Amino acid sequence: MPYRSALIFIAACAVSICANAQFGSKSVVTTPQVRAELVAHAPQGVQPGQPVWVGLRIEHQPQWHTYWKNAGDSGLPTALTWTLPPGVATGDIAWPLPHKIPVGTLANYGYEGTVLLPVPLTVSSSALDGDLEVKLHAAWLVCKQECIPQEGDFVLKLPVKSSTALNAAAFDAAQAAQPQPLKARSNVVVQGAQLRITVTDLPDALVGSTLELFPETPEIIETAATPTQSWEGDVWVATVPLTALRSQSPTEMALLLVATQGDQRLGYSTLAKVSGTWPRLASAPVLSPKLEAALQANRAAQQIPAAPSLSWGAALLGALLGGLILNLMPCVFPVLAIKLIGFAQHAGDRRAHRVDGLAYSAGAVLSFLALGGLMLGLRAGGEQLGWGFQLQSPAVVAALALLFTVLGLNLAGLFEFGSFLPSRVASLQARSPALNAFLSGVLAVAVASPCTAPFMGASLGLAIGLPALQALPVFAAMGLGMALPYLLASLSPAVARLLPRPGPWMQTLRRWMAVPMFATVAWLVWVLAQQSGMDGAASLLALLAGAAVVLWTLDHANQPSTIISIAATALLAGAIGPNISELDAPVPAVASGRWQPWEPGRVEQTLASGQPVLVDFTAAWCITCQFNERTTLADPTVLADLDVKKVQLLRADWTRRDPAITAALGQLGRSGVPVYVLYKPGSAPLVLTEVLGVEELRAAINQL
C-alpha cells in the first residue's frame, strides 16, 4: 500500500513513451523546433543537360532560427552530405540571402520562418537506369535562447523523363533570392582596428540606399556593429570595426551586400582584394609549429563523435554489473531496508518468499524498460535527453520528496493508511503482498537510476545509438542486475533459514527505517534548491509540512480538527503557489572555488593556450557525483598534482536539462553522469571511470 503513489508516478512517465514518435515519409523529419523536408524540382524530368534541383526546406517554429554559411558570432551552418548513384554529382548550396539576428550584444546570420537550401544536380546519361534515388544526411543547429544540434536522414526518388514540378514556386523564389555577382572587383583596406570597404558596379537604382553587409569570411568583423557607410558618387564606401576575436588575416574576402526596396530584398556578391597590414591576432597566442600541429589533431579528434568500442554482448554484461552495483547507492538504502523487512515477514513461508523476490525483480526490470523506452522515444522526437533525465525536472524532484515524506511518516507511526482508507482498499496490501514487492522494485529504480554506476556508462552510450529492439535488452539487463541479489536470496532455502522470525523487533526496525527515508527527503530538497533556488526549496518544505498535518488529522479521525487542518493547508498551498509555479526557473551556473562553469567551446579555447583541462560532468541528483566531488576531487594530493600541471578545472552541471551538455556527453559515447574527462593538447580525450579513485586520477594527471 505505501508504494501505490510510486506506481502512479512511474505510470505517468511511461504513458508519454509514445510522444514525438516519427512515422511516415523518409523525406520529412520533424522535431519540436523545425520541420525539415527533402524536396526536388525537375521541370523536364531527370535528363542529361536538363536542370535538376534538390534542396532541404526547413520550416522553423516561431523565434527559432538556423544559420547561413557564416553563422556570425555563434552557431554553425547547416551541413548537407549527399549519397548519389554513379554519374550524378552535386554543386554547392545556393545560399539564400540571410538576415542579421540580434542576440543580446552579439549577432548571428541566419534564417527564420521557412527557408529552402537548393543544390543543383549534374546528371550523366549513365545514371538514367531507373528512378534516381537521392539520399541526404543533414545536420543543423537550431537556436532560440538555447541551441539544439539536430540531424536527419532523407531519401527521395526522382522519376526519369517525367517532370517533377510540385515545388516549382519554392525553387523559383529561392532562385530569385540569389545574390547577383558584381563584375568589378571591390577593395578592402585594413586601417588599424577597422576595415574600409569600397564597392563599385552596383546598380544605379541603389545609389544613396543603405546596404546590409554580410562577409562570407567568418571571425573578421564585429558582427553586431552597423557599418558607417556613405556614397562617393556611384561608389559605396563603408567602415566596420574588426572583432577582438579575429582568427585569420585573409588576402581577399567574399562580401554580400543586401538592399531592401519595398518588400523585396536584393543581394549582390563581390570578391574584394585586401590591402594594408592586419593587426596581430589577439584571440590566440603564438604557438610553436609542433604545438599547432598537435592542436589541429586534437580538433580533428573532437569533431568525430566517440562511439563506444563495445559489442552488444559486452554492453549487456556491463549493464548487468552496473545494475548490481546500483544497490550500493545510498539513496537506495531506505527501499532496500524495507525489502529486507518484507523478506523477514515471509521467513517461514517459502512460497511467499519466492513470490516476493520474483515480484520485486519484475518491478525493477519493467521500470528500467519503461525509463529506457521513454528516453529513446523522446530522443527520437528530437529531445536532447540522457540517462537520469527524469530528475532534471524540478516537478519530479518535488513529487519524489512528497512520496518519501508520506512513506517516512507511515514508517514512523504518525498515521496508518488503513485508518482513513476504505476497508476494501486498505485490505489490498494483505491480500496482494506481491503488489507491494513489485512497487518496491519500481521505487528502488526511481531513486537509483539517475546515477551511472561503473560499467554502465559505455553500455548506456551504446544503447542510445541502437535500434529499440537491441537497446531495450540493455536496459532490462540493468534492472535484472539491480534485482539479482534479492532474486537469488528469495530462491535460496539457505538464506530463508538465516532470516529472523517475525516478532515485535520488526515494529522497532520499522520506526528506524523512517530515518533514511527522511534523509532522502532532505537530499531531494537540496537537489531542488540547486535547480530552482532557495525559494523553490522553501516552498517545497512548506508543502511537505502541510501534507504531514493533513495525514495526522486524517488518521485521528477528529472531524473538526480535520476540517481545520485541511483548510489551513489549502491556505498554505495558496500562499506558496507562486513559488511552486516558478520551479522551472533555472539557477545560473557560477564559479565555485577552483572549478569554473563549463560552456561550449571553452575546452578548445583553453587547449589552444597549451593548458590541459579536466571536465567534471555532474548533477546534484547524482549521489556518485557528490561522493566523488567530496572525496577524490577534494583530495589534497590530487589538488596538488592539478596545480603542478596547471590543469584548468571545468564543471558541467547537468542538474537541469542542458542540450549542450547532452551533446558533449554524446560525443564521448556517454548518456549519463558522472563522467570525468581529461583533455591534453594534441591528444584524444581520456574518459575516466565513474567511481573515481585517487590513484587512478593521479596517474592520469602525471601523464600530462
Q: What is the reported pTM?
A: 0.42
**Where does 432-467 have alpha helices with state H?**
433-448, 456-463
How much helix, strand and coil, in percent to the nearest 5, is found in the chain?
45, 25, 30
Q: Same domain, yes or no, for 201 and 79?
A: no
Where residue 240 sits, what CATH number does that domain have? 2.60.40
DSSP class of 92: -
Confidence at residue 562, expressed as pLDDT on a 0 to 100 scale: 52
Q: Same domain, yes or no, for 143 and 35?
A: yes
Q: Same domain, yes or no, for 258 and 382?
A: no
Confidence at residue 133, expressed as pLDDT on a 0 to 100 scale: 83
Tell me whether the omega of the peptide bond preceding residue 674 falls within 30 degrees of 0, making it cis.
yes
Q: Which residues of the chain have pLDDT under 70?
A: 1-26, 44, 49, 126-130, 160-165, 281-310, 329-350, 378-392, 415-433, 447-465, 493-506, 554-593
Q: For residue 11, is it within any domain? A: no
The set of cell numbers assigned to 655 is 542538474
Q: For residue 345, is it within any domain? A: yes
**Upper half-sphere CA count for residue 270 (Cβ side, 13 Å):** 22
> Which of 153, 177, 201 represents a domain boundary (last residue)?
177
Confidence at residue 566, expressed as pLDDT on a 0 to 100 scale: 56
Q: Same domain, yes or no, for 341 and 410?
A: yes
Residue type, 430: A
Q: How many CB atoms lie within 10 A of CB 581?
A: 10
DSSP class of 165: -
How close are the terminal C-alpha atoms of the chain, in Å?
Answer: 56
Q: Same domain, yes or no, for 168 and 213?
A: no
* C-alpha of 553 from chain center: 44
Q: Same domain, yes or no, for 117 and 203?
A: no
Q: For residue 51, is it within any domain? A: yes
Taking only the tens place, the pLDDT of each residue in 164-191 is 667 788 888 888 888 988 887 789 999 9
Confidence at residue 78, expressed as pLDDT on a 0 to 100 scale: 92
Backbone angles phi, psi at 595, to 5 degrees: -90, 135
| Residue 697: closest CA among 635, 610, 618 | 635
Q: Are 211 and 258 in contact (CB under 8 A)?
A: yes
Q: For residue 294, is it within any domain? A: no
Q: Same domain, yes or no, for 368 and 444?
A: yes
Residue 668 belongs to what domain range?
A: 596-702
Q: Same domain, yes or no, for 219 and 358?
A: no
Q: For residue 567, is it within any domain? A: yes
Q: For residue 8, is it within any domain? A: no
Q: Same domain, yes or no, for 167 and 230?
A: no
Where residue 87 sits, what CATH number does that domain have? 2.60.40.1250
Q: Same domain, yes or no, for 128 and 216?
A: no
Q: Are 640 and 355 in contact (CB under 8 A)?
A: no
Q: For residue 30, is it within any domain? A: yes
Q: Are 65 and 159 in contact (CB under 8 A)?
A: no
Confidence at residue 25, expressed as pLDDT on a 0 to 100 scale: 39
Count the domains in the chain. Answer: 4
Q: Same domain, yes or no, for 605 and 535?
A: no
Confidence at residue 619, expressed as pLDDT on a 0 to 100 scale: 82
| Residue 315: closest CA among 473, 482, 483, 480 | 473
Instruction: For Cα atoms 294, 302, 667, give the angle at the middle one, nearest 5 degrees.
Output: 155
Q: For residue 12, is it within any domain? A: no
Q: At what angle do helices 433-448 and 350-380 cross, to 10 degrees?
A: 40
Q: Same domain, yes or no, for 574 and 672?
A: no
Q: What percent of the chain has pLDDT over 70?
A: 70
